[in-house]
Amino acid sequence: MARRKRTPGTFGALEKLPSGRHRARYRGPDGRRYTAPTPFLTQRDARGWLALRQADIIKGQWMPPDAEAQPQSKLTFKTYADGWIKHRDLKDRTREHYEKLLDDHILPKFGSLPIASITADDVRAWHADLGKHNTPTLRAHCYGLLRTIMGTALSDGRIKVNPCVIRGAGSARRVHKIRPASLDEIAVIVAEMPERYRAMVLLAAWCALRFGELTELRRHDIVITEADGNDDAYGYVRVERAVVRVDDGFQITTPKSDAGIRDVAIPPHLLPVITDHLARFVEPEHDALLFPAQQGGHLAPATLYRRYYPARDAAARPDLRWHDLRHSGAVLAAATGATLAELMARLGHSTPAAAMRYQHAAQGADRRIAELLSKLATG
């Protein structure tokens, strides 16, 4: 008859069999009792086997013995990533971006590998190879996507540990150092642009609107009140939509976040320019685009840039990207003394959670910002 022996303070229990060998048993994290597959010649060997099982439990790497005995899953990374993309709730532009990152930079390395076989060394070698192309933003986006997919695989039980452990690899330092445009530079750029695009430059620079928000603005999105005996005229832009470029053309979508849906007060000194633009360059229909392409439809970035690049050169600012005008607007608004909450509400620049925190920014404060912006313009 086997004699069971359990020493207090030790992991598991040993039994000495009639043959003189030792059988090791332990209780797993799942509450079940497990027995070593074979008996051991010595008590020391049995204790060593138990110590290894205990170490796996402590490290969070323990698996039931029957699961360890099964052959490694042949689920490839490509198969899992395809399913991940398909069932993810993504905007079309984001989905297109992820698919391009996968096809061009991730799947060539990992696509055919079993997802459970990818190691941290594999990821480090791949990440180092990406660094040879001197594209830090692209490199960070690729790594961030791989880390997210592998994190989901970990949650699904497809892998035991996420191999993406390179600290800081998911972010990139800004290569282009932004220098906001001065008031004089903005004035030169506006003067050098074709008349039909001048209001667009002004709204980008003074209201800090994104390109996709500007090119989807329609007549009904501009609200201008008449001056009366008590108040001066004022106006605002209602930002509720944006447009993005996809493979098969343009797609109307929502702004980047919930906070992106907002009303942005127009600085009073711009109201005559906006009114003139509506009268001269916008069709009378309620939903007519403010800045359409000359042949109709949404304005393509390349079409605008052909006019914008010579204008910024005339202002001696060849480094000033179109999106930098939005940064200029943020700096100008901050110069009025606006609070962080007021700036975030005006720019629509926050996560959904931040939008909930800052949604109580006063509308009157935004109008005050716009009025102070006009004072900056007039010296």
Q: Which of 22, 210, 327, 346 is catalytic?
A: 210
Compute the CA torsion angle 166, 170, 173, 175 (nearest 10 deg): 120
Surface-to-core class of residue 69, CB atoms within 10 Å of its CB (0-12 exposed, 13-18 middle, 19+ buried): exposed
Q: Please name the residue that has the structure tokens 């398909």.
A: 86
Name, in order, each residue with C-beta under 8 angstroms of 111's C-beta and a sequence gap of 6 or more: 76, 77, 78, 81
Q: Give me the percent of the chain exceeding a pLDDT of 90.
A: 42
Which residue would you say has higher pLDDT here, 288 or 350? 288
Q: Which of 147, 277, 326, 367 is catalytic?
A: 326
List pLDDT tens digits, range 29-55.
777 888 998 999 999 999 999 999 888
Q: Which of 6, 280, 323, 357 is catalytic?
A: 323
Do 82 and 42 lie in one domain? The reply is no
Q: Which of 234, 277, 358, 367 is catalytic?
A: 358
List pLDDT tens digits, range 157-207.
888 889 998 887 776 665 557 788 889 999 999 999 999 999 999 999 999
Instruction: Specify the CATH number for the domain of residue 227.
Output: 1.10.443.10
Q: Are 102 and 180 in contact (CB under 8 A)?
A: no
Do 324 and 366 lie in one domain? The reply is yes
Domain that holds residue 129: 77-155
43 lies in a domain? yes
Is 210 assigned a catalytic role? yes
Do 287 and 348 lie in one domain? The reply is yes
d(CA 12, CA 5): 10
Do 200 and 318 lie in one domain? The reply is yes
Average pLDDT over residues 230-246: 84
Do 210 and 337 lie in one domain? The reply is yes
215 lies in a domain? yes
Q: Which of 141, 298, 317, 349 is catalytic?
A: 349
Per-residue pLDDT at 301 exceeds 80: yes
Range with the poorest average pLDDT among 238-242, 252-256, 317-321: 252-256
Structure tokens at 38: 């074979």
Residues 83-91: contacts with CB under 8 Å, at least 24 apart: 84/149, 84/152, 91/244, 91/253
Structure tokens at 86: 């398909």
Q: Are 235 and 226 in contact (CB under 8 A)?
A: no
97 lies in a domain? yes
Ordered alpha helix ranges (H), 113-221: 120-130, 136-155, 183-192, 195-206, 211-214
Do 64 and 147 lie in one domain? The reply is no
162 lies in a domain? no
d(CA 280, CA 283): 8
pLDDT at 335: 77
Do 196 and 323 lie in one domain? The reply is yes
Number of domains in the chain: 3
List pLDDT tens digits, range 62-76.
777 765 544 445 789
Is 236 assigned a catalytic role? no
Is 3 assigned a catalytic role? no
Is 358 assigned a catalytic role? yes
Do 82 and 56 lie in one domain? The reply is no
Please report which helix (H) or strand (E) contains residue 252, including its range: strand 249-253
* Nearest partner of 16 among 6, 2, 26, judged by Cα: 2
d(CA 125, CA 259): 39
Compute the CA torsion angle 94, 96, 97, 99 (nearest 10 deg): 120
Which residue would you say has higher pLDDT here, 120 or 30? 120
Residue 253's alpha-carbon distances to 90, 221, 260, in angstroms, are: 12, 15, 12
pLDDT at 359: 38
Binned at pLDDT 50, 70 and 90, residue 375 comes out as confident
Last residue of a domain, one of 69, 87, 104: 69
Question: What is the reported pTM?
Answer: 0.61
Is 326 assigned a catalytic role? yes
Q: DSSP character for 76? A: B
d(CA 252, CA 364): 30
